């Protein structure tokens, strides 16, 4: 018996499809359904009411939470983009031996496979009032009082985000850059174009799929984070997802669900904006 | 590099820009590993040592304390569950994403939908997946557990990663090998097991590494779906809020050693396969040379 190619494809993709529908598709619909359930502060009753959304939009905290979260996302995006681009550029165009290139690339990616929480808390002995950084600065006589803003502050939150998420920028940009045809660059170079012009007119446009993918990863990771902001700001700051996780901890599921739906809409709009600028699929699935 | 501009060397030459970029890269690596190495060092604090330097002696005190400590719950149990869960996720991720990757070698109706579903699942904030799966189980009256709900929630993140790796691996796959097998009369099953799978093996090991480590360290998707029994990242999370001793760092060192072993095993086996392959093709080439020589004689 010979199966038709389409049927074979369906049989091959079916199991993954089933898991995605059961554990991603259905739960998404359930969250949307819960966001319309009636909630009186204690009990959740299946219903179709807009109260959870009305309360969300009426609350003064909502807007400031979103502004704070978007602020984190944009700052971290800008920093990781600069680091990710520079590191990839160095690895692809300045490291000549393939062995060295792979070794240094792996050096950048190994932390990706270790625990995020451990990597985050590793900043605590570093940035604290009596931490390594302050002791070094005091010892060198650069400061006379320990710096207080290092830990449990926006600074600490951003440092931790950059530490955790730069990998997500490096890997896709590295992949895009590695595919650039060297002869284009050599032609421009021989034609007398400057190094900066080569970067801005050839390398940036040709690595834009990697930049777009990395940006999508970093922005969605920051927008959805709740534990880095909680620990690293010492609960002095908050993000949308952290407020949501607090509601979940207090079993306030319908308001949390409404908040989740709004967060999801905003994240989707941001991703859609990036995808409008760059067609990622063409690059990925070719 | 001829003629046109003889005073210019090739692009990417070792000039000032190389050293500036190399310095930047070195700083980045220090930024990446510096804090981590600090906590690994601090986990060997003496019994009177605190959460920061200076070191007050060196000991394994806090590693012992880790296994004795019952305050935060069941460390050994959580460790075992995390390893088993990571094993399950690895097996399912490898099987399902390799199959799905093969499906994408042909265009089929709905392929775009499946692709975007996987991407959406990949970039969905983890806490939302956890909330959704948790609420779904509650709605249908099923109890959440690490081997059901948490397993499913983690797969929505590891499988799309696996699929993307399969795309990358398959885009370099030369179909001539399959056709050669078919011409020699191999069945579809034989072609898959004897040709496709061995060629894809290094990529598949990569998928396995992702499946194992992402599951083993996964926190946001597991938090609301693990049910009554904790996994290791949740134990660590519990400790960050109520343990203020180097035992926390000891746990960090132990769990990182597990991740490093997984990385070493995968990369080591990929390197082994590549080297064996290079050796075999070298032998095959010299054998072929021999044959040609004999033929010409």
With an 8 Å Cβ cutoff, are A117 and B237 in contact? yes
Is the pLDDT higher at B189 or at B289? B189
Instruction: Note whether A151 and A129 are within 8 A (CB).
Output: yes
**Cα angle: A120, vertex A122, A124; to 5 degrees:** 95
Give strand pairing partners of B145: B227
Contact B162, B211 (CB under 8 A): yes
Residue A180: what are its φ and ψ, rounded to 5°? -65, 130
> Which candidate from A19, A114, A216 shows the least CB-CB separation from B152?
A19
Helix, strand or coil for residue A44? strand
C-alpha triplet A195, A198, A200: angle, nearest 5°: 110
With CA atoms as reference, report the closest residue to A117 among B71, B65, B217: B217
Which residues in chain A have their CB less than 8 angstroms from residue B123's CB?
A: 216-217, 220, 267, 271
The stretches of chain B forming alpha helices (DSSP H) are 16-42, 61-68, 75-103, 111-123, 126-139, 151-170, 176-183, 188-191, 197-216, 220-223, 232-242, 247-296
Considering only CB atoms, B38 lies closest to which of A16, A126, A175, namely A126
CB contact under 8 A, A122 and B109: no
Per-residue pLDDT of chain A (286 residues; tens, 9 = 90+): 567 888 888 888 999 999 999 999 999 999 999 999 888 877 777 888 888 898 888 888 889 999 999 999 999 999 999 999 999 999 998 888 888 888 899 888 888 888 888 889 888 888 887 788 888 888 888 888 888 888 888 999 999 999 999 999 998 999 889 888 888 888 888 888 888 888 888 888 888 888 998 999 999 999 999 889 988 888 888 888 999 989 888 888 899 999 999 999 999 999 999 988 887 766 665 4
User: From CA A141, how far away is CA A133, in angstroms rounded?
Assistant: 12
Contacts of A87 in chain B (CB under 8 A): 24-25, 28
Question: What's the whole-model pTM score?
Answer: 0.88
CB < 8 Å to A47, chain B: none
- Check A30 against B10: CB less than 8 A apart: no
Q: Which residues contact B251 (CB under 8 A, 6 or more apart)?
A: A118, B66, B75, B235, B236, B239
B149-175: pLDDT as tens digits: 999 999 999 999 999 889 888 887 888
Return d(Cα A153, Cα A237) in angstroms, integer: 8
Residues contacting residue A269 through CB under 8 Å, at least 6 positions apart:
none
- For residue A258, give the chain B residue with the closest CA: B128
- The beta strands (E) that lie in chain A are given as 38-39, 44-45
| Structure-token match 């950048």, residue found | A108
CB contact under 8 A, B22 and A5: no
| Whole-angstrom distance, CA of residue A14 vs CA of residue A6 | 12
Q: Which two tokens stand for residue B250?
A: 């000891």
Chain B residues with CB under 8 Å of A132 CB are 38, 52-53
Q: Is the peptide bond before B54 cis (omega within 30 degrees of 0)?
A: yes
Per DSSP, the residues of B163-199 read HHHHHHHHTT--THHHHHHHHTT--HHHHIIIIIHHH
Contacts of residue A238, defined as CB under 8 A and 6 or more positions apart, other chains included, come to A65, A68, A229, A230
Cα of B287 to nearest chain A Cα, Å: 28
**Residues of chain A contacting residue B259, judged by C-beta atoms under 8 Å apart:** 113-115
| Contacts of residue A255, Cβ cutoff 8 Å, sequence gap at least 6 | A39, A52, A55, A56, A247
Q: Is A67 left (phi over 0), alpha (psi -120 to 50) or beta?
A: alpha
All residues of chain A having their beta carbon less than 8 Å from the beta carbon of residue B117 are: 17, 20-21, 24-25
């Amino acid at each position: 018996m010979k199966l038709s190619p389409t049927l074979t494809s369906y049989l091959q993709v079916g199991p993954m499809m089933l898991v995605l529908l059961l554990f991603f598709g259905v739960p998404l619909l359930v969250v949307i359904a819960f966001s319309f359930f009636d909630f009186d502060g204690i009990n959740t009753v299946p219903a179709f009411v807009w109260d959870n959304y009305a309360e969300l939009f009426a609350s003064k905290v909502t807007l400031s939470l979103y502004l704070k979260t978007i602020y984190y996302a944009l700052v971290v995006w800008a920093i990781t983009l600069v680091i990710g681009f520079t590191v990839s550029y160095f690895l692809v165009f300045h490291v000549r031996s393939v062995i060295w290139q792979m070794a240094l690339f792996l050096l950048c990616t190994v932390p990706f496979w270790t625990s995020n929480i451990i990597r985050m808390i590793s900043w605590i002995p570093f940035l604290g009032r009596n931490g390594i950084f302050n002791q070094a600065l005091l010892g060198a006589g650069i400061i006379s009082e320990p710096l207080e803003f290092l830990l449990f502050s926006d600074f600490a939150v951003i440092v931790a985000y950059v530490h955790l998420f730069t990998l997500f920028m490096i890997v896709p940009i590295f992949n895009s850059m590695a595919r650039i045809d060297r002869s284009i660059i050599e032609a421009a170079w021989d034609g007398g174009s400057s190094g900066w012009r080569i970067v801005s007119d050839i390398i940036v446009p040709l690595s834009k799929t990697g930049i777009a993918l990395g940006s999508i990863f970093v922005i969605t990771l920051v927008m959805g984070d709740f534990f880095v902001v909680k620990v690293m700001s010492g609960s002095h700051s908050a993000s949308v997802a952290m407020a949501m996780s607090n509601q979940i901890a207090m079993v306030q599921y319908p308001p949390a669900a409404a908040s989740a739906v709004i967060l999801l809409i905003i994240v989707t709009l941001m991703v859609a904006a990036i995808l409008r600028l760059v067609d990622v699929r063409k690059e990925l699935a070719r | 590099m001829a003629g046109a501009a003889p005073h210019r060397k090739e692009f990417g030459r070792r000039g000032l820009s190389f050293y500036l970029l190399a310095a930047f890269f070195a700083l980045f690596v220090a930024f990446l590993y510096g804090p981590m190495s600090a906590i690994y060092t601090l986990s060997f604090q003496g019994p009177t040592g605190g959460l920061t330097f200076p070191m007050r002696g060196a000991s394994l005190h806090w590693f012992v304390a880790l296994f004795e400590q019952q305050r935060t719950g069941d460390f050994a149990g959580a460790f075992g569950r995390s390893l088993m869960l990571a094993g399950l996720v690895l097996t399912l991720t490898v099987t399902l994403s390799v199959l799905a990757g093969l499906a994408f070698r042909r265009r089929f109706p709905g392929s775009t939908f499946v692709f975007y579903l996987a991407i959406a699942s990949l970039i969905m904030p983890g806490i939302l997946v956890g909330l959704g799966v948790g609420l779904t189980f509650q709605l249908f009256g099923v109890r959440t557990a690490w081997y059901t709900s948490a397993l499913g929630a983690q797969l929505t993140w590891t499988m799309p990663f696996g699929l993307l790796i399969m795309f990358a691996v398959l885009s370099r796959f030369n179909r001539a090998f399959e056709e050669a097998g078919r011409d020699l009369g191999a069945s579809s099953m034989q072609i898959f097991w004897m040709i496709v799978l061995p060629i894809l093996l290094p990529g598949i090991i990569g998928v396995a590494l992702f499946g194992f480590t992402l599951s083993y360290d996964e926190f946001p998707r597991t938090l609301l779906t693990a049910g009554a029994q904790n996994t290791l990242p949740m134990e660590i999370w519990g400790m960050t809020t109520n343990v203020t001793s180097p035992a926390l760092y000891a746990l960090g060192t132990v769990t990182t050693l597990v991740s490093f072993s997984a990385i070493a095993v995968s990369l080591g086996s990929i390197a082994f396969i590549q080297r064996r392959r290079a050796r075999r093709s070298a032998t095959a080439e010299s054998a072929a040379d021999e044959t040609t020589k004999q033929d010409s004689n």
